[in-house]
Structure 1
Amino acid sequence: MSEETPDQERYQVTGHDYCADQVRRHDHDRFICTLFAKPHARAGLHALLAFNLELARIREAVSQPLLGQIRLKWWSEALDGVFAGKPPQHAIAGALADTVRRFDLPRDPFDTLIEARNLDMTDAAPADLATLIDYAEGTSAALFDLKLSILGVAAPAARAAARDVGVAWALTGLARAVPFHARARRIYLPADLNRDAGLDVFRLFDGRLSDPRVAESLAQVVTHVAESARSRLAAARARHRQVPKPALPALLPATMATRDLRRLRRAGYNPFKLASDQRGAGRLLAVAWNAARGRY
């Protein structure tokens, strides 16, 4: 292993600090979960989550989908340097290179994360629930799998649970984010479910929630997505006796997903009526309580 120069070490420290700050500010739920990991793994988790944030925010940061595809291509090429130990001069890339080296992470899941984000560059809804789940697998389950690698967990039960929690987390987040995406005239609710429920997405985009037909059809579709998320969480928890304790920080987002699904239910599965629960003490206490019990 080659020795690092003082400048390289300073750059990596700065990059890791930047990643931790980005995750704390913009992915606070999962930042909380990283606090239950051992100190040597936290910086790696923050680098990984910051990389994911960078990909997730591309669509909102560009004026045209083509520019987003160019940015995804840039990150794909940047990974060549990350895995060669020669990352581009970018805070997240530098921290990610250090994380890849320290934890001997594989390349394929990173490529999956980038490839799956191509769906963000189209304004069309996923064709069906299976397509939406494929998107959740690529953008979220792959991330959860990498978190287990950082935590040093290879148990098959933990890997399976992480995939289920990753999909559930993504589905729940997309259901909650319907108002955000609708304002940008985008939708991730499956096209076939929208059609079957009679959901007019253009009226949704125009904010016509006072029309009971729009509200009722939206609730019907969101219910389907929420039930799929619940089934994934149930499958993950059915394996908890086979999941080693070091995997817990990667799986704790299941606790917050469960809280959000309850909030959706209380709102009649209308995401526009969700009461804020972000950064509340209840979320932190729920995670801490489950962590203390070894549950997720």
Structure 2
Amino acid sequence: MSVPPVLSHAASLVSRFDRDRFATALFAPLDQREALMLLYAFNVEIALVLESVREPMAGMIRLQWWHDTLVAGLDGGSCDNHPVAQPLCAMIRERGLPLEAFDHLISARRDDLEGIAPADMAAAERQAESSSAALTLLALAVLGTETEETRRAGRHVGIAWGLVGNLRALGHHLSMGKLTLPEDLLRDAGGSGEAVREGRASTGVLTSVAQVLGQRARYHLTEARRIRVGRGGLAALLPAVLADGYLQVLEKMGWNPFDSRVAQYRPRPIRLTLAHLTGRF
């Protein structure tokens, strides 16, 4: 693994806003690394829309710009002089990447702007599949390793990473009016989405729901590891290794997503290195 002395705009963006995926992308083949950084930079750009607007409509307009720009680029038109959009359009054309996959990611961010909490676990998994898992599948396509087996593994890894990410970012999401905890699990634990949003939910309610989500994430990781995949797409699946570390610290903290030690935890790079050397995620 080596880090270029000067990072590209895309890599710098990912390094700043998505350190986990930045770290995993460094294990991609050298000739594929920048393409992976570009994909992750696009994800950062559309994810930041939620944080950069005060009104949902303004965010919708920005997301529509991304959609229109990618469509224009695919048709050979202008992608504007945007430091991410311009090279991204070129990569989509050159590699024949499906525009529908990018649309799925944009649509997931539109849903985020609406701030509707998932009704149940199935809805939470669908949200993770339309965002995190969709990005994982695109990463496999960028690496040229998208097969039926890798797609199944990528779907499970992506859903697990999405569920874990929602737990890690619960406080941040709530500050933006976004609730990712399933309503039915909150009710079963004796709470409600309204109580969580207003800061009235007890620690017992939150830890109970977090534990269920964490166990579901571990199920998806286990299912992903039942599938035999080659080394070519390993960099796209390495978030599974990081998910293990985050779940371990959450469990150690009694599944309290608001424990400050959860936010402070940083996975050890040696885990990624060992996974890379063994070819196992």
TM-score over 0.5 for the alignment?
Answer: yes
Structure-1 separation of matches of 2:265 and 2:182: 29
Structure-2 separation of matches of 1:55 and 1:198: 35
Find out whether 1:218 has 2:217 as its counterpart. no
Question: RMSD in angstroms over aligned alpha carbons?
Answer: 1.8
Structure-2 separation of matches of 1:79 and 1:266: 44
Aligned partner of residue 179 in structure 2, secondary structure: coil
State the match for 2:85 in structure 1: 93
State the match for 1:65 in structure 2: 56
Structure-2 separation of matches of 1:246 and 1:23: 21
State the match for 2:180 in structure 1: 188
Deviation at 1:278, TM superposition (A): 6.0
Find out whether 1:235 has 2:223 as its counterpart. yes
2:168, 2:263 within 8 Å by CA — same for their partners in 1?
Answer: no
Once the two structures are superposed, residues 71-130 of structure 1 have per-residue CA deviations (whole angstroms, 9 ceiling, x without a partner) of 111111111122123312211101201221332211110111111222211233111111
2:32, 2:143 within 8 Å by CA — same for their partners in 1?
Answer: yes
State the match for 2:137 in structure 1: 145
Instruction: From the CA coordinates, give the structure whose radius of gyration is larger.
Output: 1
State the match for 1:288 in structure 2: 273
State the match for 1:12 in structure 2: none
For residue 45 of structure 1, the aligned residue among 30, 36, 47 is: 36
Q: Which runs of 5+ in 1 are unaligned?
A: 1-15
The residue type paired with residue 202 of structure 2 is V
Q: Which runs of 5+ in 2 are unaligned?
A: 1-6
Structure-1 separation of matches of 2:184 and 2:195: 17
State the match for 1:255 in structure 2: 241
Deviation at 1:183, TM superposition (A): 2.7
Aligned length: 274
1:81, 1:88 within 8 Å by CA — same for their partners in 2?
Answer: no
State the match for 1:26 in structure 2: 17
Structure 2 CA distance for partners of 1:222 and 1:279, relative to 1, 3 Å: closer
Q: Percent identity?
A: 38
Q: Which shows bigger deviation, 196-205 or 55-64?
A: 196-205
TM-score normalised according to structure 1 size: 0.87
The residue type paired with residue 124 of structure 1 is I
The residue type paired with residue 216 of structure 1 is G
Once the two structures are superposed, residues 43-88 of structure 1 have per-residue CA deviations (whole angstroms, 9 ceiling, x without a partner) of 1111110111111111111001111111111111111122123312
Q: Which shows bigger deviation, 195-204 or 158-167?
A: 195-204
1:277, 1:283 within 8 Å by CA — same for their partners in 2?
Answer: no
Deviation at 1:186, TM superposition (A): 2.6
Deviation at 1:184, TM superposition (A): 3.0
Deviation at 1:233, TM superposition (A): 0.4
Deviation at 1:154, TM superposition (A): 2.7
Structure 2 CA distance for partners of 1:269 and 1:285, relative to 1, 3 Å: same
State the match for 2:124 in structure 1: 132
The residue type paired with residue 155 of structure 1 is T
2:149, 2:229 within 8 Å by CA — same for their partners in 1?
Answer: yes
TM-score normalised according to structure 2 size: 0.92
State the match for 1:162 in structure 2: 154
Structure-2 separation of matches of 1:137 and 1:288: 27
Deviation at 1:200, TM superposition (A): 4.0
